[in-house]
Structures are given as structure tokens and as C-alpha cells.
């Protein structure tokens, strides 16, 4: 077939530019529309630019069209006209989020973004439309205020039953869904869970005692405990991991695969509708969501035999009537498993690693446990546990040195909001100031960052917690003393410093986040952390196994929004 040809040097760039404008303005996600824009339209162009419609001709036009699309996108993102042009950052990140996906798959966004902060400063552009902050004064403007909603990172968390609580962006809708969670995890409700806590912690102690003298992966055991605990608390279900000494239903490993898939796709949520069209894509996430929802549905159908998490979520405490009850409740099952079990296991695993890295701190903590609970008295007195200064200092310090959220929690400055101010940020070497060298203060200028609408923002927790402006001295060292209230402090090297030389910004230490969407499980988590640490310290001495190199732990810790952990092989010895 022969056609009249039009000058391809005009028509292809024009069509490609039009396509770019559509993407920039409307961000279409519909797979069919994407197909039409990316393949249909340029293929049709062949009819007007080529004299003969051949396969090679179509391919030529497609390649030219796509190359120009990439060129327009890159040029705009790097241009001074981009709203984030004034923010520094690596070119690879300014141009596309694909490098971020690669980091997630490698597991090191927490390390790389920290390096970027060291290189570029307090605010770094880590995506075409994304900024990360490392200063304490960014924490509340980003996470605390009821002003910035969750960002597109959370878009893909929807389950077949609907939105889980942690994916709800609308504050009013979130308030309704949050109420039963708050009641279920309020200090008054925790009293009802004491029986479950006691049974599960005692079982953990029994199983660890059976393994004294053997090499065991203590990180895996923390997961067996936390899954068994959450199975019982949330779903009245026995996973039986501690009894079997393994991941009985493959749940933990299924969850890790789903977490990695979720984390990498959450960075580029626009790709998900297209992926959904491909058979088999996202299977790991769907499988895990389905299994969690089965647990939820089963729990709903059996009703409450005792007061547990679902007793409150189902409104059996009489506080809630909702026609969509079952729909809501099973949608939260996915969150209950990930948020409630993996986080505690991760925090405890990092804790044991740091105890082995810093044996003097471990000895001091043992002494405090022995003093507080003498003569073998079991440490189940939660009030006394909460008042143990060194125990709480060690737990805080471990969550500071290795943050439970290694990177950030994304929020969005909504389109139409007109932008927001976040800061102030320290502008290093502000040498444009004419009297810069005359007035030393001029190079310590602090400015607020105006963040334009349509920008995703987060606080980079690893950078914040290791920022010497927030935590010093020794921001990179596990030094629990910084959390104690004293007149002077002995540093690990033997020197002594007065209190005024300690920088400790408690308000910016937010392992459970802050604001309306912060963790409702904070009290339960603290209770479990204190209790398990005191029990283990009282009964065992913990050492790295001979075959295990402690350096492996941090290398094998992977940042996938949730933390993926390697093995932590230890040998336990009885203390008494």
C-alpha cells in the first residue's frame, strides 16, 4: 500500500511532544489509554510518514517517537523550569524513579540516600517530584500536621476487600477507621492481652532454653514469636511457628517476597495498572493479601471468644456499627500481619545484634535487670519495666542506631494546595552573601524550603537519627547513656562531658511516627520489647556463633520500606 508521506522530522516530534504534554498534565493510568498513547498513536503515524507500511517502518517510527518522549521528559526534569530545579540531588534521581526501584531491589536506599544527604545537604531531590529531608524541623511539618496526606507510595496497597487502614489518605475517612484500632491498642485494652503475652513469651523462653548450647538464628526466633503472638491476638489462630521451630505455613517468607514486590512497585505506582493486565504479575502480593484476608474472614465468622484485636475491630465492644463491617475488617488483616508482627521482630533482632556488638552495654543491662527483678522474680511487672532507665535507654538507642523505618514515610504536598513551607534548612557555605567572610554567621544561614504543590516529601530517618545536629556526640555509635538524665556523661573512651554538650532531640525521635497516622500499636510494641528483652537477659547470655561474622547483619539488612533481615546466628548460654 502506498501513502503520501509527510515530513517525519516535523510530525514525529510534534506527536511525541503532544503525548508528553498529556502525560505530564493528566498522568493517565488506564492500560488501554497508555497503549494507545505509546503504541497505537505512533504506529498510526507510520501511515503518514512512511511511503510503505512495513514492519521495519513501524519500528523506526516507534523508536523515534519513544526516544523523543524520553528526551522531552529528561530535558524538562533537568531544566531550570522544573518546580524543584533549585533542590540539589543526583541527576539519575532527578530524571526518573527507576534508579530508586533498583536501590530497593538491591536493598540499600537507606545507605545511598544517606550518602546523598551527606553530599548534597539537608534537602535532596530523590525523584523527579520528590524531596527528602534530614533535619529535625522537617519531622512535624511532614508527618505531624493534619495537612500532608500520604503520597502515591501507598497507592498500590489496596486489597481485594478494599483499602487497609494504612493506605487511607483521606483524614476524615481515616479517623473513622482508626477509632477501633485506637480502642484495641489503648492501655486499657492491653490488660486483656496479658494472658496471650504471658503464654507466648513463656513458650519462647521454653523453646530457647531447649536450644541452649546450639547455634540458632535469633532473628528467625523473634519472627516465630511475633507471628505466633499476632496470630493469636489478631486472628485467634495458632501459627505454631515456635513449637515447630520453623515458618510452618510459609507465611513469613511469603510476606518478605510480598514486601519486596510492594516496596519496589510503590516507588513507581503508575506501572501497576499496566502490570495488572499481565497474567501472573503481582502474584506474591496477591497471594499474601489473600491468605491474610482468609485469616480475617475466618476470625469474623467465628466471632469473639475472648477480647482480642478483632473483638474491637469488629465492634463487638459495642462501640461501632458499620454496614461495611466485614469489608473493612478483612481489608485490615494484611496490615495486622505486617505492621503488628514484622516490626516487633525486626526491632528485637536489631537489639540483639547491638547487644553483641556492645558487650559492655549488655553487661550493664543485665545488672539492671537483676537488680530490678532479684532472686529469679519474673519480669512481668510492666510498670517496673517501663521505669528501668537503662533498659529504655538501650531500646531507644537501638531504634535510633538502626531505625525501624530505615528510609522515610512518604507524604504529598497536594496539587491545588499552593505548596507548603518546610524547614528551616541550613544552607552550607552560602558564599553568594557579599560579606560572607566578614560575618561568620552569614555562612550559617537557615532558610525555610518552599515545597511546591505536587511534590512528594519524606524525612529520611537513617540520616536524621545519625545527624550530629540532632544526636551528638557519637551519632553513629550505640551509646544508650545519651537517653539518661544525668549531670555529666562518661563517654566510651573514658572521658567525661557535661550535660550541656549532649544534643538529644527527643521530639524528632519518632520510630512510631507522629500525627494522626502514627502507630496505634506503640504501647503494645513497647510492652513486648521490654518484656522479651528483660526475660532473655535474665535467663541467657547471648553470643555470636563461632561460625557467624557479626558484620553480616547490617550488610544483609535490606530496606524495603519494611526491613528484610538476614540471619543472626547466636549461641545462648544459661545464666543461672
| Residue 348 near residue 533 (C-beta atoms within 8 A) | yes
Q: Compute how many other C-beta atoms are within 10 angstroms of the C-beta atom of residue 257.
A: 16
| Residue 452 near residue 83 (C-beta atoms within 8 A) | yes
Q: Is 178 in the site for ligand HEM (CB under 6 A)?
A: yes
Q: Is 395 in the site for ligand HEM (CB under 6 A)?
A: no
| Residue among 96 and 304 whose Cβ is closer to ligand HEM | 304
CB of 346 to ligand HEM, least distance (A): 7
Q: Is 139 in the site for ligand HEM (CB under 6 A)?
A: no
Nearest to 77 by CA among 69, 66, 89, 85: 85
Q: How many chain residues touch ligand HEM (CB under 6 A)?
A: 24
CA 544-549-554 angle, to 5 degrees, is 100
| Residue among 15 and 413 whose Cβ is closer to ligand HEM | 413
Give CA separation, 125 vs 102, 111, 176, 329, 412, in Å: 17, 16, 35, 38, 14
CB of 511 to ligand HEM, least distance (A): 5
Q: Is 455 in the site for ligand HEM (CB under 6 A)?
A: no
CB of 393 to ligand HEM, least distance (A): 16
Helix axes of 359-372 and 343-357: crossing angle, nearest 10 degrees: 110
Q: Is 66 exposed, middle or buried (0-12, 13-18, 19+ CB in 10 A)?
A: middle
Residues 267 to 286: which contact ligand HEM by CB under 6 A? Answer: none
Helix axes of 218-235 and 343-357: crossing angle, nearest 10 degrees: 150
Helix axes of 251-267 and 98-106: crossing angle, nearest 10 degrees: 160
From 196, 361, 391, 405, residue interacting with ligand HEM (rule: CB under 6 A): 405
CB of 171 to ligand HEM, least distance (A): 11
Nearest to 218 by CA among 548, 507, 500: 548
Q: Is 525 in the site for ligand HEM (CB under 6 A)?
A: yes
| Residue 222 near residue 525 (C-beta atoms within 8 A) | no
Helix axes of 522-539 and 343-357: crossing angle, nearest 10 degrees: 40
| Residue among 350 and 571 whose Cβ is closer to ligand HEM | 350
Nearest to 222 by CA among 212, 230, 213, 232: 230
From 65, 72, 120, 181, residue interacting with ligand HEM (rule: CB under 6 A): 181
Measure the CA–CA gap between 421 and 102, rounded to whole angstroms. 31
**Among 192-200, 370-378, 513-521, 550-558, the segment contacting ligand HEM (CB under 6 A):** 513-521
Q: Is 519 in the site for ligand HEM (CB under 6 A)?
A: yes
CB of 140 to ligand HEM, least distance (A): 14
| Residue among 121 and 520 whose Cβ is closer to ligand HEM | 520
CA 396-219-555 angle, to 5 degrees, is 80
Nearest to 341 by CA among 521, 103, 72: 521
Q: Is 151 in the site for ligand HEM (CB under 6 A)?
A: no
CB of 347 to ligand HEM, least distance (A): 4
**Among 37-45, 318-326, 403-411, 414-422, the segment contacting ligand HEM (CB under 6 A):** 403-411
Site string for ligand HEM, 336-375 (x = CB under 6 A): ---xx--xx--x----------------------------
Measure the CA–CA gap between 218 and 225, rounded to whole angstroms. 10
- HEC string of 2-57 equals ECCCCCHHHHHHHHHHHHHHHHHHHCCCCHHHHHHHHHHHHHHHHHHHCCECCHHH
| Residue among 99 and 227 whose Cβ is closer to ligand HEM | 227
From 398, 513, 538, 563, residue interacting with ligand HEM (rule: CB under 6 A): 513
Q: Is 165 in the site for ligand HEM (CB under 6 A)?
A: yes
| Residue among 102 and 512 whose Cβ is closer to ligand HEM | 512
CA 449 to mean position of chain CA atoms: 24
Cβ-closest residue to ligand HEM? 521
Q: Is 511 in the site for ligand HEM (CB under 6 A)?
A: yes
From 520, 538, 557, 572, residue interacting with ligand HEM (rule: CB under 6 A): 520
| Residue among 121 and 340 whose Cβ is closer to ligand HEM | 340
Q: Is 126 in the site for ligand HEM (CB under 6 A)?
A: no
Element (H, E) at 385: helix 382-386
Q: Is 521 in the site for ligand HEM (CB under 6 A)?
A: yes
Residues 303 to 342: which contact ligand HEM by CB under 6 A? Answer: 335, 339-340
Q: Is 402 in the site for ligand HEM (CB under 6 A)?
A: no
List of residues contacting ligand HEM (CB under 6 A): 165-166, 178, 181, 185, 335, 339-340, 343-344, 347, 404-405, 409, 511-513, 517-521, 524-525
Amino acid at each position: 500500500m502506498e501513502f503520501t508521506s509527510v515530513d517525519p522530522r516535523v510530525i514525529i516530534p510534534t506527536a511525541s511532544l503532544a503525548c508528553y504534554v498529556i502525560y505530564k498534565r493528566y498522568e493517565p493510568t488506564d492500560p488501554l489509554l497508555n497503549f494507545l498513547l505509546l503504541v497505537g498513536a505512533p504506529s498510526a503515524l507510520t501511515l503518514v510518514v512512511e511511503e510503505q507500511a512495513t514492519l521495519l517502518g513501524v519500528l523506526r517510527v516507534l523508536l523515534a517517537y519513544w526516544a523523543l518522549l524520553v528526551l522531552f521528559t529528561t530535558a524538562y526534569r533537568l531544566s531550570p523550569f522544573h518546580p524543584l530545579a533549585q533542590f540539589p540531588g543526583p541527576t539519575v534521581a532527578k530524571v526518573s524513579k527507576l534508579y530508586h526501584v533498583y536501590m530497593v531491589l538491591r536493598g540499600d536506599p537507606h545507605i545511598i540516600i544517606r550518602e546523598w544527604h551527606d553530599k548534597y545537604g539537608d534537602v535532596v531531590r530523590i525523584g523527579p517530584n520528590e524531596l527528602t529531608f534530614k533535619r529535625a524541623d522537617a519531622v512535624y511539618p511532614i508527618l505531624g500536621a493534619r495537612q500532608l496526606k500520604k503520597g502515591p507510595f501507598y497507592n498500590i496497597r489496596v486489597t481485594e476487600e478494599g483499602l487497609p487502614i494504612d493506605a487511607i489518605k483521606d483524614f476524615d475517612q481515616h479517623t473513622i477507621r482508626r477509632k477501633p484500632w485506637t480502642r484495641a491498642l489503648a492501655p486499657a485494652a492491653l490488660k486483656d492481652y496479658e494472658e496471650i503475652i504471658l503464654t507466648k513469651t513463656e513458650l519462647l523462653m521454653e523453646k530457647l532454653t531447649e536450644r541452649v548450647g546450639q547455634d540458632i538464628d535469633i532473628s528467625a526466633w523473634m519472627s516465630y514469636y511475633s507471628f505466633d503472638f499476632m496470630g493469636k491476638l489478631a486472628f485467634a489462630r495458632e501459627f505454631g511457628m515456635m513449637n515447630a521451630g520453623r515458618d510452618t505455613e510459609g507465611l513469613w517468607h511469603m510476606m518478605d517476597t510480598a514486601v519486596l514486590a510492594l516496596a519496589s512497585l510503590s516507588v513507581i505506582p503508575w506501572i501497576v495498572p499496566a502490570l495488572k493486565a499481565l497474567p501472573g504479575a503481582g502474584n506474591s502480593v496477591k497471594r499474601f493479601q489473600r491468605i491474610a484476608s482468609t485469616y480475617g474472614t475466618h476470625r469474623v465468622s467465628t466471632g469473639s471468644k475472648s477480647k482480642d484485636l478483632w473483638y474491637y475491630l469488629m465492634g463487638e465492644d459495642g462501640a461501632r456499627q458499620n454496614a461495611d463491617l466485614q469489608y473493612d475488617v478483612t481489608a485490615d488483616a494484611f496490615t495486622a500481619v505486617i505492621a503488628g508482627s514484622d516490626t516487633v521482630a525486626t526491632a528485637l533482632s536489631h537489639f540483639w545484634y547491638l547487644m553483641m556488638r556492645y558487650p559492655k552495654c549488655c553487661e550493664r543491662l543485665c545488672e539492671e535487670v537483676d537488680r530490678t527483678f532479684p532472686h529469679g522474680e519474673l519480669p512481668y511487672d510492666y510498670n517496673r519495666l517501663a521505669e528501668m532507665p537503662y533498659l529504655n535507654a538501650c531500646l531507644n538507642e537501638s531504634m535510633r542506631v538502626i531505625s525501624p523505618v530505615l528510609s522515610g514515610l512518604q507524604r504529598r504536598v497536594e496539587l491545588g494546595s499552593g505548596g507548603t513551607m518546610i524547614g528551616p534548612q541550613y544552607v552550607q557555605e552560602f558564599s553568594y552573601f557579599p560579606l560572607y567572610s566578614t560575618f561568620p554567621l552569614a555562612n550559617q544561614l537557615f532558610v525555610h524550603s518552599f515545597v511546591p504543590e505536587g511534590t512528594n516529601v519524606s524525612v529520611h530517618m537513617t540520616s536524621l537519627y545519625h545527624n550530629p545536629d540532632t544526636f551528638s556526640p557519637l551519632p553513629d555509635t550505640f551509646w544508650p547513656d545519651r537517653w539518661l538524665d544525668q549531670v555529666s556523661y562518661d563517654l566510651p573512651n573514658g572521658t567525661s562531658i557535661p550535660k550541656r554538650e549532649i544534643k538529644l532531640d527527643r521530639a524528632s525521635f519518632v520510630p512510631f511516627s507522629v500525627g494522626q497516622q502514627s502507630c496505634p500499636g506503640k504501647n503494645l510494641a513497647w510492652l513486648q520489647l521490654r518484656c522479651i528483652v528483660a526475660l532473655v537477659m535474665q535467663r541467657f547470655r547471648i553470643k555470636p556463633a563461632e561460625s557467624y561474622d557479626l558484620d553480616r547483619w547490617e550488610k544483609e539488612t535490606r530496606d524495603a520500606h519494611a526491613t528484610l533481615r538476614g540471619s543472626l546466628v547466636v549461641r545462648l548460654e544459661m545464666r543461672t
